[in-house]
Amino acid sequence: MPHGPNAAVHDHTGRSRWTHIVARRGAWVTIAIWLVLTAVGGSFAGLLPRVERNTPSSYLPRSAPSTQAAVLRARVVPQSATPAVVVFASSRPLTPLATHAIDAVRTSVLERALPSVVGVTPLRVSANRRVATFSALIDAHASFSTITHDVTTLRSLVGAQRTARAAVTGPAGFDTDLAHVFAHLDTQLLLVTVALVTILLILIYRSPVLWLVPLVSVGAAASLAQAGVYALAKLGATVTGETVGILTVLLYGAGTDYALLVVARYRDELRREPNHRVALERALKRVTPSILTSGVTVIAALLCLGLSARNDVAALGPVAAVGIASALLAMLTLLPALLALTGRRVFWPRVPAANATGPRSFWTRLAQWLPRQRRTIWIAGTLALVALALGTLQLRSGHLANDGLLGHPDSIVGEQLLARGFPVGASAPAYVVGPRAELARAQSLTRSVPGVASVGPVTARGSLGTFTATLSAPPNSASAQATVALLRARLATRAPDVLVGGQTATKLDLANASRHDIHVLVPLIAAVVFVGLLVLLRSLVASLLLVASVVVSFLASLGLTGVLFSHLESFRGTYSSLPVLGFLFLVALGVDYSVFLMARVREAATRGDATTAVTEGVQATGAVITSAGVVLAGTFAVLCVLPFADLVELGFLVAFGVLLDTVVVRSLIVPALALELGDRLWWPSLPRRSRSSTGHRL
């Protein structure tokens, strides 16, 4: 009986019977079951956009100050409305005739009787007479699809006039532009991701046929995941366009990684076993513990997001967990069934022959070179990572005066036009709400806050009242958030029952929630990954080493991302949840590569000394780990082509981090450190070496 983490899979347990069924007797039944699951799951693909919620206010829990302020304000202003700010700007002062023509447009908006428009405000003309504006009041209780449709129609109406340049901004304008970004995101992202994965698989396998098997398996997993995510949304989870986009790249990236590991192990067994079904069954028995440990650890780390203070991040946990679980199920059932039916010929033209040895590769030469340069490698590599990690000192969160939108959408153009004649914060003023008796004092305090351009009159109803505060900075900017934070601090000392809400306050609360997540979720995710490694490797030293390596790799990647995006004009910083999500994906997914490498090294350690075990592990896993890293990095890099800053930043961070981890950390630094530690790496559970186990090679 062999020893080590894979020993359990060599006996006649239920797992062995399961692999026997999938690899031999039940292949057709397995495929039939997946055909049904794919058909059912695929029917939900077109329904996901209907349950997405992409407004920033839906990201916050009820306990957030801006959410509480919105509830109170609704009691004062029962017909709560979201303004769509219509702006007209001219390079010269507007004539009375031009002003009359613009006011006629305002009247036509009312006459058009758009379903969500409950009224319009009077026309206002700036002191320099170069800008005119009014707001179409959008019913906040209307459906999101109705609001976006009506704002789009409103833009057509105001764009038809030739008197002045026109745009529609304000909260309703921004929400509509976000909706347009995410309207076709799912389909576009899916097509680009599938195309990229296809190209990468063809390059990796160099086979005109083999790439189809993993791709079909991942596609089936995606269909199953979509049904699960739709069910979560119906149960009340906040599913956003960002969430679905992340799910797509995560599922295709991680699913393809698992497929690469299965196929690589299967190819190795085919070189030793004439019967391809026996080879497949043997490969499954030996690869399943690593894949299951990796997948379960990733799922557990994802579920930690349920403790997030942000609804969207909290919901991403179960959504992404459904995706990983679907990928695991497909790669351990459907993929082996397809391989069982296609046999060796699926590898054509490079069909592995029985009793053949693999070609001498780059990884063979690297594995032989590592022992001679191990100390130089891990010291130089660690210093380079630390140097990159220093970039985190320049990390600036809470970016953007444009709500994360890239390019020149109408809402951003409208803010720029409005700033020619009014305080730019006029498109989405903050509001102060609270007990009527405290509002006079609150008004006085608000006027004294730097960054507040003007304060509106009090509107009261019963014991409650509210007034607006127009900020001098763009509503979504870091400067505006700083103004609201200062306003809240001053009100807390002299008017403690008064709350500040509005678009800027919502953004500030989202940033505060993200800081909470960093302090709570980051150590929790690291602990989950450590426990997963400890269960598989049964080594305290190895588990600590691997967790430390992925954390340092993450900090290096975040440092470079911070330096890059803090200096790009279109970004000027990173969004607030980037560190948490980046840590999750790089550390939780980085454990995949750690598991693949160290499980192989530990198994090899049962047959020889520490140096031989590490070199054999690098030689056996180097190609598959690097290939898997390229695929995962490529899928996340797809996010960089989208016109939304949050996803661009996340895509870059994860893509660069995965490549850094697989090419440098997992292939060089970790093996060098393992060689340096020798058998001490496995303390306190040293692998038992046995000559009888030499036949159980990977």
Q: Is the pLDDT of residue 210 over 50?
A: yes
Q: Write down the pLDDT at residue 490.
A: 92
Residues 6+ apart with CB under 8 A from 385: 552, 553, 555, 556, 665, 669
Q: Write down the pLDDT at residue 569.
A: 59
Helices 589-605 and 503-537: crossing angle, nearest 10°? 10
Of 11-25, 67-81, 211-225, 246-260, the least confident: 11-25
Per-residue pLDDT tens over the stretch 250-259: 899 889 989 9
* CA proximity to 621, closest of 210, 252, 267, 209: 267
Paired tokens of 620: 């056996």
Q: Write down the pLDDT at residue 245.
A: 80
Per-residue pLDDT tens over the stretch 540-560: 999 999 999 989 999 999 999
CA–CA distance, 645 with 494 (Å, rounded to integer):
39
Q: Write down the pLDDT at residue 610.
A: 83
Q: Write down the pLDDT at residue 694.
A: 40
| Helix, strand, coil % over all residues of the chain, rounded to 5 | 70, 10, 20
Query: What mean pLDDT, rounded, does the chain reach?
Result: 84
Q: Write down the pLDDT at residue 488.
A: 95
* CA proximity to 316, closest of 233, 203, 211, 395: 233
524 — pLDDT class (breaks 50, 70, 90): very high
Q: Is the pLDDT of residue 208 over 80?
A: yes
pLDDT winner (highest mean) among 132-146, 375-389, 454-468, 581-595: 375-389
DSSP type of residue 422:
S
218 — pLDDT class (breaks 50, 70, 90): very high
Q: Is the pLDDT of residue 184 over 60?
A: yes
Mean pLDDT of 657-669: 91
Q: Write down the pLDDT at residue 110.
A: 83
356 — pLDDT class (breaks 50, 70, 90): low
pTM over 0.85: no
Q: Write down the pLDDT at residue 7.
A: 39
540 φ, ψ to 5°? -70, -45
Q: Is the pLDDT of residue 9 over 60?
A: no
211 φ, ψ to 5°? -60, -25
Q: Write down the pLDDT at residue 78.
A: 65
Per-residue pLDDT tens over the stretch 444-473: 999 999 999 989 999 888 899 999 999 988
Q: Which residues face 547 on adjacent strands? A: none
Domains in the chain, CATH or no CATH each: 7-43+184-394+509-695 (no CATH), 80-183+404-418 (3.30.70.1430), 419-508 (3.30.70.120)
pLDDT winner (highest mean) among 407-411, 424-428, 537-541: 537-541
Q: Is the pLDDT of residue 191 over 90?
A: no
Q: Write down the pLDDT at residue 687.
A: 66
Paired tokens of 472: 């001098």
Beta-sheet strands, E only, within 90-121: 117-120
Q: How many CA atoms does the CB half-sphere of 582 hold within 13 Å?
A: 33
Q: Write down the pLDDT at residue 16.
A: 56
Per-residue pLDDT tens over the stretch 553-596: 999 999 998 888 877 655 666 677 788 888 988 887 777 788 88
Q: Write down the pLDDT at residue 148.
A: 85
Q: Is the pLDDT of residue 119 over 70?
A: yes
Q: Write down the pLDDT at residue 698.
A: 34
Percent of residues, the chain, with pLDDT higher than 90: 27
Mean pLDDT of 176-185: 74
Element containing residue 500 per DSSP (H, E): strand 499-501
